[in-house]
Structures are given as structure tokens and as C-alpha cells.
Amino acid sequence: MRFIFVLSVLLVLSGCAPVKQSDNVAPTVEKGGFMGLSKTNDIEVNGANAVKGENRAVVPYFRVAYYTENNPGGFTGNGGDKIVIRSELMGVESDTLQRITDEAYKNFVDQMKQKGIEVLPLSSLKKSPTYQTFKGESQYKDKALFGPDAIYVAPSGMKMSDTKITRGLEIGKIMNEMNASLMDVTLYVTYLSQRVESTLRVVTGISIGQTTSVTPGSVMQFYGLEASKCKGYCPNTVASARLGQPVYSTEQLGELRETTTAGDKAGDIAVAALTWLTPNQNAKFNNTNRYELHADAAKYEKVVTGVLKEATDKLVSSLTSAQ
């Protein structure tokens, strides 16, 4: 039985199951199912009471992570395989990413204000000795959700922390120094989407298309100042709103080109064969072709700004629902 399943997969990789390139391929949004998403709501909210009664917050952490190489091709639950479209986004420069991020932050601040919470200006963070130790760079490349690296961009004028292990201590210090609640925001943006068609767990086709998504896992966290003063057992000191389903647009950004070589394909088939013939090792149902998306920078900026606004509006609204 395993040999038959292996053979089916190898036939797919060798071209028996067509890889279709499409202008518009919406991501899988049904909750659950083969190669689908984990069974989650559009927005997952936890600890909302931490926001209740608060009316001001400082935001030393706000990042938009842009995938520009090896775009995630599917969003799985905890422990699921990471599906990756081997690709590169062309034609989008760092200044475009900066403008998009600045607009996303401006919209975030406006939305928070409409919900009754003032976001203190970045200049106010000069009062925080802890924040002053942050790095001055506004862009860097690092690991991101679902496998590939991403370019992280902060709003103009915001420093970036490189603290990971002691982030909780860092947050507590800044809250005390600023005497304000604190927010930590990270949004992830992709540019392609992959849809897999299957029958009886045998892949019969794969579709690749231009889809701009703010992915599941994008999150806003709110550390309540008053909630942090709780003594003893304190279950609701931090509120979070996290995307469980993608917010996306299928508007075309430019020309999508396939760049797969015969050598690429042969190597992929060999790796898949070894994987499936290795005991206790699972292979990934993944399109092994290579792509380049040659985007029009103006279209990219317009579309990404739009999906970020929609995602931010949803997250802010859900996070502040207890207000």
C-alpha cells in the first residue's frame, strides 16, 4: 500500500498531475479538510478583559513581515507540514515596503483611536530607557511563520528590538517606564497562493496564482496596565487577537513566470522518492516548480495597503470588543 501511495506522489511530481498557473487562485478558507486550514474562526480572541477600561497605549513593537522569496503556499495547524511555493517577488523595492508599513501603522493608530484607545506618539518613547537600547534599523530579514524568511519592516522612526528570550521582561520595563498599556503587532503578507485538488488523497492537480494575503498567525497583543497590577493568580493580563483565516485579494500584481529547469525537476523527484522510502518520514504535497512574480510596484503598494487595512480593522475591532 505504501509503495502505491509513493508511486502516486512521484507521478504527480513528474508531471502526471498538472500544475496550472492561474491569474486568480484564492487560498483555501474552509475550516479543516485535506491541505486546508486548522479548524479556527476568522479571528481568535483571548483575554479580552485586559483591554477593558484602558484608554492609552504605547506601541514599541509594530512589524509587517513581507515574504519576498519562497512564499508560503498553505496554512496548516500546529505540527502540520509547511507548504512552500518556490518563488521570488520581483520589482518591489524597500522604499515601497516602507510606505506600505507607514500607512498600515497610521491606519492602526486611527482605528485604535476610534475604539477609544489613544496610541501614544513614537516620540514619547524617548522617556523609556529600555526602548532607547533598541536598534535604529527599520528593516531586516529573519525567520517567519510557515517556513520561509521574510523582510520585517517597522514604521518610520520606530526602533526594533532584537530581544527574544527576555521579551517579557522588556515589555514589563517599558510599561512601567511609560505608565501605559503596551501593544505588540506583527502582520505577515504573502504574494502567491497554491490550491491542491485531490481524489482519495492522491493529488490530481495543483493551481498557482497571484494572491496577496495577510496570513493566519498575524496578531495584535495588548498588555493591560491595570491588569498587570493584579496580585496573585492573574489570568487576563494580556489580550490577543489573531487571524485564523487569511485576509486576501486576488487582484493581479504583474506577470507570473515559471522558471523551473529540467535539473530542478529531477532533483525534486529524487528527494521526494528518498523521503517516501524512508521509514517514519512523511513527504509534503508541494508544487516543486519555480516561479517569479514580476510585480508592478504601484499595484503591489495599492493591493497590499488594502488587505493590511482590512486585516488591521478586523483585528482592532475584535481586540477592543470588551471596551
pLDDT digits (tens, 9 = 90+) for 165-186: 688 899 999 999 999 999 999 9
The label of the residue with cell 495599492 reads 302
Instruction: Say what the pTM is.
Output: 0.84
Which residues have C-beta within 8 Å of that of residue 13, sequence separation ≥ 6? 265, 268, 269, 272, 288
Residue 199 buriedness (CB in 10 A; 0-12 / 13-18 / 19+):
exposed
Q: Residue 103's CB: how many other CB atoms inside 10 A?
A: 16
Place of cell 498588555: 223
Q: What is the mean pLDDT of residues 142-166?
A: 88
Distance CA 127, CA 138 (A): 20
Give the rounded distance of the alpha carbon of 233 from its chain centre.
Answer: 32
Residue 168, burial from CB neighbour count under 10 angstroms (0-12, 13-18, 19+): exposed
How crowded is the C-beta side of 189, counted as CA atoms within 13 Å?
A: 27
Which segments of 222-296 does DSSP mark as H helices, in order? Answer: 225-228, 262-276
How far is Cα 153 from Cα 139, in angstroms, rounded to an integer? 4
Rounded Cα distance, 272 and 15, in Å? 14
Question: pLDDT, tens digit, for every residue of 90-148?
Answer: 999 999 999 999 999 999 999 999 999 999 999 999 999 999 999 888 899 999 988 89
Query: In the structure, what pLDDT confidence band is assigned to residue 67 with cuts at 50, 70 and 90?
Result: very high
User: CA-to-CA distance for 281 and 10, rounded, in angstroms?
Assistant: 15
C-alpha cell at 80: 502540520
